[in-house]
């Protein structure tokens, strides 16, 4: 496999614009563990191994349990392991990431407004949009996770 472009080197202005989105996301009122769970789920859907790896490790560093990180892809079947709020975040992430199917449904949108309010709902949408953009860059440029020493469970 031939190495592909590095956006930071080839298009630094574009990379800076993406970085500005990340800064907005980092300053949002959405709890950092929830931001990481959103990023993991979107990255799983988009098949961005680099981002799944990075955000899974970030979530673990924040104190997220290995069990919850491993079960993000099966959140519906995980029962009470994820809160109502987290389940709504995952539903929003899936509907926005898979926007070609039906987009963010009225029901999920209304639940989000009721639970999070307009400002946080807008922030959640921006978190999802930003990670989707990073995923597309990562997949298009074939970013791969670094080989890490395997942890023993």
pLDDT digits (tens, 9 = 90+) for 23-62: 999 999 999 999 999 999 999 999 999 999 999 999 999 9
Q: What does the chain look like in DSSP terms, one character per residue?
A: ------HHHH-HHHHHHHHHHHHHHHTSSS-HHHHHHHHHHHHHHHT-HHHHHHHHHHHHHTT--HHHHHTGGGGGGGGGGS-HHHHHHHHHHHHHHTTTTT-S-HHHHHHHHHHHHHHHHHHHHHHHHHHHHHHHHHHHTT--PPP-PPPP-
pTM check: above 0.85: yes
Alpha carbon distance 17, 46 (integer Å): 21
Residue-level pLDDT at 20: 97
3-state class percentages of the chain: helix first, strand second, coil last, to nearest 5: 75, 0, 25
pLDDT at 52: 98
User: Do residues 93 and 3 touch, judged by C-beta distance below 8 A?
Assistant: no
d(CA 87, CA 75): 7
pLDDT at 44: 98
Average pLDDT over residues 76-89: 97
Task: Write down all domains in the chain, each with its CATH number in brackets.
Answer: 12-140 (1.20.1290.10)
Question: Tens of pLDDT along 86-113?
Answer: 999 999 999 999 999 999 999 999 999 9
């Amino acid at each position: 496999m031939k190495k592909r472009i590095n956006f930071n080197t080839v298009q630094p202005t574009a990379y800076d614009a993406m970085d500005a989105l990340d800064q907005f996301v980092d300053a949002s009122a959405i709890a950092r563990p929830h931001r990481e769970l959103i990023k993991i789920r979107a990255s799983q859907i988009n098949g961005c191994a680099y981002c799944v790896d990075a955000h899974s490790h970030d979530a673990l560093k924040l104190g997220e349990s290995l069990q919850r990180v491993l079960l993000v892809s099966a959140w519906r079947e995980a029962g009470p392991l994820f809160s109502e709020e987290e389940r709504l975040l995952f539903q929003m992430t899936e509907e926005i990431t898979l926007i070609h199917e039906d987009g963010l449904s009225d029901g999920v949108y209304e639940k989000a407004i009721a639970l999070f309010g307009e400002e946080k709902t807008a922030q959640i949408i921006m978190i999802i949009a930003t990670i989707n953009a990073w995923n597309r860059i990562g997949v298009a440029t074939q970013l791969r996770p670094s080989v890490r020493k395997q942890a023993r469970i």
